[in-house]
Amino acid sequence: MFFHDKRLQYHCKPDRPDPLFACKLQEVLGGQWGEISVFMQYLFQAWNCRGPQKYRDMLLDIGTEEIGHVEMLATMIAQLLEGADADTTEAVAKSSSAVQAVLGGSSPKDMMMAAAMNPQAQIVFGQGAAPCDSMGNRWTAAYIVSSGNLLADFRMNVTAESQGRLQVCRLYNMTEDKGVRDFLSFLIARDTMHQNQWLAAIEELRADGLEDTPCPSSFPQELEAKDFSYAFLDFSKPGTESAEGRWARGHAPDGKGTFQHIVEPKPHGPVPDLAGRADPRWYATPPVPTPPTTI
Amino acid sequence: MFFHDKRLQYHCKPDRPDPLFACKLQEVLGGQWGEISVFMQYLFQAWNCRGPQKYRDMLLDIGTEEIGHVEMLATMIAQLLEGADADTTEAVAKSSSAVQAVLGGSSPKDMMMAAAMNPQAQIVFGQGAAPCDSMGNRWTAAYIVSSGNLLADFRMNVTAESQGRLQVCRLYNMTEDKGVRDFLSFLIARDTMHQNQWLAAIEELRADGLEDTPCPSSFPQELEAKDFSYAFLDFSKPGTESAEGRWARGHAPDGKGTFQHIVEPKPHGPVPDLAGRADPRWYATPPVPTPPTTI
Amino acid sequence: MFFHDKRLQYHCKPDRPDPLFACKLQEVLGGQWGEISVFMQYLFQAWNCRGPQKYRDMLLDIGTEEIGHVEMLATMIAQLLEGADADTTEAVAKSSSAVQAVLGGSSPKDMMMAAAMNPQAQIVFGQGAAPCDSMGNRWTAAYIVSSGNLLADFRMNVTAESQGRLQVCRLYNMTEDKGVRDFLSFLIARDTMHQNQWLAAIEELRADGLEDTPCPSSFPQELEAKDFSYAFLDFSKPGTESAEGRWARGHAPDGKGTFQHIVEPKPHGPVPDLAGRADPRWYATPPVPTPPTTI
Amino acid sequence: MFFHDKRLQYHCKPDRPDPLFACKLQEVLGGQWGEISVFMQYLFQAWNCRGPQKYRDMLLDIGTEEIGHVEMLATMIAQLLEGADADTTEAVAKSSSAVQAVLGGSSPKDMMMAAAMNPQAQIVFGQGAAPCDSMGNRWTAAYIVSSGNLLADFRMNVTAESQGRLQVCRLYNMTEDKGVRDFLSFLIARDTMHQNQWLAAIEELRADGLEDTPCPSSFPQELEAKDFSYAFLDFSKPGTESAEGRWARGHAPDGKGTFQHIVEPKPHGPVPDLAGRADPRWYATPPVPTPPTTI
Amino acid sequence: MFFHDKRLQYHCKPDRPDPLFACKLQEVLGGQWGEISVFMQYLFQAWNCRGPQKYRDMLLDIGTEEIGHVEMLATMIAQLLEGADADTTEAVAKSSSAVQAVLGGSSPKDMMMAAAMNPQAQIVFGQGAAPCDSMGNRWTAAYIVSSGNLLADFRMNVTAESQGRLQVCRLYNMTEDKGVRDFLSFLIARDTMHQNQWLAAIEELRADGLEDTPCPSSFPQELEAKDFSYAFLDFSKPGTESAEGRWARGHAPDGKGTFQHIVEPKPHGPVPDLAGRADPRWYATPPVPTPPTTI
Amino acid sequence: MFFHDKRLQYHCKPDRPDPLFACKLQEVLGGQWGEISVFMQYLFQAWNCRGPQKYRDMLLDIGTEEIGHVEMLATMIAQLLEGADADTTEAVAKSSSAVQAVLGGSSPKDMMMAAAMNPQAQIVFGQGAAPCDSMGNRWTAAYIVSSGNLLADFRMNVTAESQGRLQVCRLYNMTEDKGVRDFLSFLIARDTMHQNQWLAAIEELRADGLEDTPCPSSFPQELEAKDFSYAFLDFSKPGTESAEGRWARGHAPDGKGTFQHIVEPKPHGPVPDLAGRADPRWYATPPVPTPPTTI
């Protein structure tokens, strides 16, 4: 069960409206690696957790925090969209006729607004934040993962915090608004924490003897086609730059094998042949002419 | 530029048709963590790579291999779909009337086939493999990642090989067909290699001084809201099981901070208030009655 | 900012596992009218609210409650998926050979499981709840609405609670498990409350003088093409059953017009003609042959 | 069966081309609340109607009319896209060098067009209307509803006409073209009619004794968890602004209960615990280390 | 503007309900090549047509007819879903205990219905037709095409009528219900007509001198990289079966070139190299270590 | 199995960066008719081919080539995105204050970049190519076709090469960069070849006696509702321009019938009536009031 505190986790007030930046900021609200993705992902992992309670609790802690991040982003975006239209209009009205010529065909006001932002911010969302990314793609649960296997899922969580922090850092470079930058510095700090948190959780899984590489570790490794378990296959020619990397020599990180570099990968299977085995009821093209048929 | 060898990378021939398993196997062909996802992801990361050539080359090697995995899965699925319909029909024809009673309403043959499999395998794909997951959802590029930052992306790649191996291991438990299991043991082995490969590549990035935790490591960490960079916030009550984990105490994995456990997280921001700042042209509901208007 | 209480809002424990019903129950978790849709919709409406605080607060109250409904559904589904596989297998093993003949081609165990449930419940989600509907379609934010206009949005909210209650009532008829039915009776009760709540909120908007029919009420109605504002146009022939309804006679519900029934709707515009106005650079087919061209 | 009259229902000719506005206008053609959504929704509700003929007929009347609205919007958009490119180019050619400097990197013509509009209007649709919203998202049937329950569906229809009219009113404010505004005034008038129509149809359903609040009204209300059927739960703290609304006191709109305001909502369920009940075949992480296994 | 005749274009009444077949039949209503796709495609092509009126008129004729095909399919599906549930239940009640053992875990009634059909037919659509394909994927306008170039589009139309007829023929083989087969024989006949119609329309475009192969024919062919315009490149080894086809020798169908078969395709471009040209603000991994930075 | 040659199939180097054009060029990489669509389509058709080997081999040849086209487009786009940001910034810095006034509200740099391009090129893809179309819609396998019937599929392939060539020709007109135009002239040439190739393959299928019009040709045509197999139905009034076309008179292209033009199409079916046949458990609205019920 959840409760809401009307106060925000951190302050998020821009120095001034900036509808263009509002549209960009949508990426980390409703994009593939935005805050909706992480809160939904962590909560589903928690609700489906059949492992030790400390993992479930930790997932609930962070998943709950992330809903509050969506709230702050939505609030920030709504403020960035405020009042901006009138200002822009005024600026255009004062501008030189050369500029108006460029804006041509339609009215300068409309053209400027159209060029400046996602039109749905006004037509659909009425100056409000949207459950979308920076291109207006609606958020989809196709982004998230909850497999039941905590190692597989925590690796996804490290990824999410890495891609997310990367995107916020890029956005930091796209604005000079001090209020916005202060807010982003909070998100970046939390992503630093959360990258570390998931890396620590992966260590903990191993220390607890619950999961290890290769994941899932409780599949009996002797059932693998072992000749291929530590072989690096070089499929891109000419040149063998890839042989210079750590992945092509020495002990594998799982401590269970040694990397080999295979310069000329061979096919181990035959040329497949499906010819002549089509069921006539489905009218797939057969290898030889066949008479009309139904069943 | 690419070339194709008509022979398969490994043998993939089932002992007998099994249209039900064919439909399940689609998950690792065209699902979120299927082979289409990994080949597309690795190739895009390669084509967009602005880092050292060994990384680009390695990405091309593995991305190219994975196209061949899609090919084997498609071939396996097409064979599992072969000839099965007739067999099923025959079995039903011979079955007792009690069974036919259960199958009621429509013909036993149709009901059995409907119950047994995705109808698109016949109606849409004519006994062929589909670019879909096990529920018939078409593959979408929303699954994949290519950010330009190799650490962020390699973490996604470790995830993909973990989720993928997990799914293939589950599928291994869902069939007793020796031909299918042999083929799956090859995919599992390659996923063992590829998990190790990406973990090694992450080590290499660090050894090369190119990337580190927190990712992206070239954002100046002094610009973060530092009070929050290593704080674990406990948002789920009652009980503090989450405090027992590695993520709540000691040095953070990045070696740059020490975890704190905050039992009572506080709001640091105000109650937000947007009331009264709506532009009347967009007809958002205002705090007080307003007269009709257009511009 | 949000907090989580580890206890559930209501009890939700099935008498016994039922993986088939688990898959159906997904509809009201992650379908178009499921609990994810309502909590996301209400929270976005709250965060974007520029009207009186009582509306914003009410939206936050209900949006927060609904996250807890997702939590209960996820927990119920995870339990319904538990242990069922083994039971089913055992039952099949004991069954007559006639039955096994029907199940033909592949192993009875696999066929039964395949026929019984969404394969992703095991392959992808490992016996856990999924952010999907009953057909495995991932939830998408394309389902939700936050327009800034509270009357337009509250009408959507009444709809959501009506469609949602309808679906839960249907699901109630699809199970005889007392534990499940008890849980569903709670969801049905909350939907009763919430239908009433939104209808009351619509009354309140009108009482406050903020919004009314036609919505948005602050667009000047004299700018409409008034001849068409209260005319029912009969486009389906023969017969005029539609003339018998309340919508074709008497005062309109908004109190601002009188319905007319137009038996023979007329075209008021011309035959459109775009012929000959294609820009040659885009190679749309012109009305007469044209020479090759580039710019 | 359908027939087409080549004349348009209303005139829709812009005073001059405006490719920017064309792209915005797409929202009410192919967006979530556009005319494709309403015609498809009403026709499916009609075709699936098992209630009295007057409702089915009325649905067919309005569904058929709305196809003609899509036609007018498509025609308007195709005209707004005409000839505009050349004009814009000419304006740019005449503009000052300062402006050209801004447009930098690529040619002014391309940059202007890119900034001005959805590139698919030319590349994909060749100056034609598209089955998309204003951001280029293709229309999806995920937007529409046909539940078989007319009250639940008519509430969706009131919503659709409210959101639709809201969007058209916003678009009215985004253009000063008299031809476009005349056309929009027709759409606004029809939305006025259709809001009233669906409200009247809801009255009629009640008058006919077919449906009522709570919907569906033929589920026996005594089976609900009655303690929660009229309780407003206050989940957002601090402050109780939400207690000031109509939804927290007095008789509920359905006339069957009285609202209560619950200041401190309590959990009525336990802390859920799934630990230890994972089937080992799916490799979900267990609470204690387990040996490797397959089946 | 459109009109509706309440009578159906053809009779469509099944001999008896068959909910399984109903779900399959959805494929040709709301799938990629279903009737929604063709009516929407033809109407958009008509509305966007800038060519001779005879083409626009013909597109309107067929597009309008196809709406009526959706209507018939929806009606057929609603009837196939009728009354079936009770029958199935009764049959199960009478069946042997062996069968009930198979159905295990949950009630036979539910299991049978679950195994038999898409659960949304009841939960979401209440025994009505849905705007979906046979797997429950909602129809999307991503399926359709309207490019402005009639030759490119008519080729799509031939495709649509071919894929559509193929699917209906397959469905014909999946049922023995005479009423259903009679109805399908009508759809098959119309697809025969429409394949012929689009082939004839392609002839007409050429006869009118408007379009030809290669399409678009008004791009000046001398601007192509002519060495590659008629060369068949053999990228799949070993073996040259592809050299046996018509596409590798003789005059090309456009009458403008002669096919060549290139046994060893060569790369004509260099190894690409993006290394070192990343803008530091976006934190893409560079080829050498770089200091922290922001802008 | 696949191999990669690091050299590109053709040279693809722009004369200078052009981020706007980069975003447009995405259409033919990851749009509905882009290179991802064709390579995936041809490979799936090959892997599922049960016809003669020459067709399978040919599909593999061209499918493999097309992966290399995606590679070139990705490389071209990455280069077009390079270095452009700084240049644009500099140009803006030098521009007149009138221009800066237009750019108003936010910083000129941000506004210019926002107006100029898809923000995901930086935020999400870090100056890299994306698996998206020109509006940022991710590629989806819903675009592609593999039916097993080679005639139905080759018609789709002709379509794909026609729509694709059309789009590349349009893009050719949108740039003046000689490097880009040289590269596009290669793609246009290959599309010329491939249109011809698929037309030749269709001839070959007929010559081999494998498929013909109407497709699928092995469905017995005497089972069609023959009265409707060659009838052109005129559903759009007034005027009969459509009667002037080749599709309304003379022998049909399949040589098996003669076109008829039906001026007044008649309904051949009844008014459908579903009233009163709703199962009460699903709460669809019935024709008369019914008492509350559950099962």
DSSP secondary structure letters along B213-282: SSSSTTS-GGGS-GGGTTEEE--EES--GGGGSGGGSSB-TTSS-B-EEESS----S-----TT---GGG
Q: Does C142 touch chain F (CB under 8 A)?
A: no
Residue in E2, E50, E136 closest to C137 by CB:
E136
Coil, strand or helix at B187: helix
Percent of chain E with pLDDT over 90: 82
The predicted structure's pLDDT at residue C115: 56
Cis bond upstream, residue D238 (ω within 30): yes
Contact residues on chain B for E99, CB-CB shorter than 8 A = 98-99, 101-102
Say which residue, C71 or A115, is predicted with more confidence. Answer: C71
Contacts of F97 (CB under 8 A, 6+ apart): none
Give the C-alpha separation, A74 to E258, whole Å.
Answer: 61
Kindly give the interhelix angle for D178-207 and D150-172, rounded to the nearest 10 degrees: 160
Sequence-distant (6+) residues with CB within 8 A of D38 are D62, D63, D66, D69, D157, D160, D161, D164
pLDDT digits (tens, 9 = 90+) for C156-190: 999 999 999 999 999 999 999 999 999 999 999 99
> Does B225 sit within 8 Å of A10, measured CB to CB?
yes
pLDDT string in tens for chain B (295-residue length): 999 999 999 999 999 998 889 999 999 999 999 999 999 999 999 999 999 999 999 999 999 999 999 999 999 999 999 865 544 444 444 443 333 433 444 444 444 555 557 889 999 999 999 999 999 999 999 999 999 999 999 999 999 999 999 999 999 999 999 999 999 999 999 999 999 999 999 999 999 999 999 999 999 999 999 999 999 999 999 999 999 999 999 999 999 999 999 999 999 999 999 987 888 999 999 999 988 888 7
- Interface probe for D, chosen from B282, B285, B293 (most Cβ of D below 10 Å), is B282
Residue D12 has a pLDDT of 94
Instruction: Catalogue the E-assigned strands of chain E.
Output: 2-5, 231-233, 236-237, 260-262
- How big is the B-C interface in CB pairs under 8 Å? 166
pLDDT at B214: 97
Residue type, A57: D
> Measured between CB atoms, which of A19, A84, A294 is closest to F219?
A294
Concatenated DSSP letters for E173-190? TT---HHHHHHHHHHHHH
pLDDT of residue E261: 96
Of C1, C30, C48, Cβ closest to residue A9: C1
Question: CA triplet F219, F225, F228: central angle to 5 degrees?
Answer: 115
Rg of chain B taking only CA atoms, in angstroms: 27
Can you tell me the mean pLDDT for E152-160? 98
Strand partners, E4: C236, D2
E104 Rama sector, left if φ>0, alpha if ψ -120 to 50, beta otherwise? left
Widest pairwise Cα distance in chain D? 78
A295 — pLDDT class (breaks 50, 70, 90): confident
Beta carbons of E294 and A173 less than 8 Å apart: yes
Q: How far apart are CA A185 and CA D200, in angstroms?
A: 53
What is the spatial distance between Cα A264 and Cα B154, in angstroms, rounded to a whole number? Answer: 25
- Chain B residues with CB under 8 Å of F215 CB are none
pLDDT at A97 over 90: no
pLDDT greater at residue D96 or residue E26: E26
Q: Which two tokens stand for residue A220?
A: 């009996």
Q: Which residues of B93-106 are buried (b: 16+ CB within 10 A; e: fewer)?
A: eebbebbbbbbbbb
Nearest to A53 among D174, D275, D277 (CB): D275
What does pLDDT average to over chain E? 90
Residues of A in contact with B82 (CB under 8 A): 274, 277, 279
Does pLDDT of C200 surpass 90?
Answer: yes
F135 versus C87: the higher-pLDDT residue is F135
Q: Give me the residue from B9, B126, B233 closest to A269, CB to CB.
A: B9
On whether any CB of chain A is under 8 Å from the CB of F207, the answer is no
pLDDT of residue A159: 98
pLDDT (average), residues F108-129: 74
Taking CA–CA distances from A284, the nearest residue in chain B reads B126
The radius of gyration of chain D from alpha carbons, rounded to an integer in Å, stands at 27
| pLDDT given at position A115 | 55
Q: Which residue of D has its CA nearest to E68?
A: D1
Contact C242 D86 (CB under 8 A): no
- Cβ–Cβ under 8 Å, residues F134 and A45: no
- Mean local confidence (pLDDT), A49-60: 97
Q: Do E114 and C20 touch (CB under 8 A)?
A: yes
E strand or H helix that includes residue C262: strand C260-262
Chains in contact with chain B (at least 3 beta-carbon pairs closer than 8 A):
A, C, D, E, F
- Please spell the DSSP secondary structure of B14-59, one letter per residue: -SS--HHHHHHHHHHHHSTTSHHHHHHHHHHHHHT--S-HHHHHHH
pLDDT in tens, D170-219: 999 999 999 999 999 999 999 999 999 999 999 999 999 999 999 999 99
Please tell me the least confidently modeled range out of B14-18, C108-112, E40-44. C108-112
Query: Band of the pLDDT at D270, cuts 50, 70, 90?
Result: very high
Question: For B140-179, how does the pLDDT look when each residue is reduced to its tens digit (9 = 90+)?
Answer: 999 999 999 999 999 999 999 999 999 999 999 999 999 9
Q: Retrieve residue E77's tokens.
A: 């599906």
Which tens digit of pLDDT belongs to each residue from C240-278?
A: 999 999 999 999 999 999 999 999 999 999 999 998 788
Confidence class for position A105, pLDDT limits 50, 70, 90: very low
A295 close contact with E: CB closer than 8 A: yes
Distance CA B98, CA E96 (A): 6
Summarize pLDDT for A155-169 with one digit per residue, the tens: 999 999 999 999 999
Task: Please enumerate in sequence order all residues whose Cβ is within 8 A of that of E146, keeping only pairs 6 or more positions apart, or say none.
Answer: D125, D128, D130, D131, E41, E44, E45, E48, E153
DSSP state of B137: P
User: Which contiguous run of DSSP H or E holds residue A40?
Assistant: helix A35-47
Residue F116 has a pLDDT of: 55
Whether residue D185 and residue C72 make contact (CB cut-off 8 A), yes or no, is no
The token pair at D2 is 């359908």
> B129 and F2: CB-CB below 8 Å?
no
Interfacial F residues in 5-34 facing B (CB < 8 Å) = 5-9, 30
Tell me: the pLDDT tens digits for F248-285? 999 999 999 999 999 999 999 999 999 878 889 999 99
What is the arithmetic mean of pLDDT over E74-89? Answer: 75
Which chain A residues contact residue B75 at CB under 8 A? 272, 274
Q: Residue window 145-164, chain B: list those with CB within 8 Å of chain E.
A: 147-151
Among F43, A293, A284, residue whose Cα is nearest residue B127: A284
Task: Please report residues of D whose CB lies closer than 8 A to that of E142.
Answer: 138
Chain D CB contacts of B166 under 8 Å are 283
> C285 touching F, CB under 8 A?
no
C237 touches chain E (CB under 8 A): yes
E84, amino acid identity = A
Q: Does residue C133 come out as left (phi exceeding 0), alpha (psi in the -120 to 50 range) or beta?
A: beta
Please choose, from the candidates A144, E173, E4, E239, the residue with its C-alpha nearest in 3D space to the C-alpha of residue C241. Answer: E4
Q: Is the pLDDT of residue D66 over 90?
A: yes
pTM of the complete model: 0.94
Q: Before B216, cis peptide (omega within 30)?
A: yes
Give the position of tokens 């290139």. Answer: E262
Of C214 and A293, which is predicted with more confidence? C214
* For residues F167-192, average pLDDT: 97
* pLDDT digit string, tens, across residues E261-280: 999 999 999 999 998 788 89
Candidate from A16, A95, A272 with C-beta closest to F102: A95
CA distance F257 to F251: 6
**CB-based contact A105 D19, cutoff 8 Å:** yes
Q: Which of A246-250, B102-106, E141-145, E199-203 has the lowest mean pLDDT?
A: B102-106
- Label the pairing between strands C236-237 and D236-237: unpaired
Residues of chain F with pLDDT > 90: what percent? 81
**F283 touching chain C per CB within 8 A:** yes
Of C132, E58, D54, nearest to B31 by C-alpha is C132
Q: Give B-chain residues touching A240 at CB under 8 angstroms.
A: 57
Tokens matching residue F79 = 């280069």
pLDDT tens digits, F215-227: 999 999 999 999 9
Contact D138, C142 (CB under 8 A): no
Residues contacting D13, CB < 8 A, separation 6+: D76, D79, D179, D183
* pLDDT higher than 70, residue D68: yes
Q: How far is F282 from chain C (nearest CA, A)?
A: 5
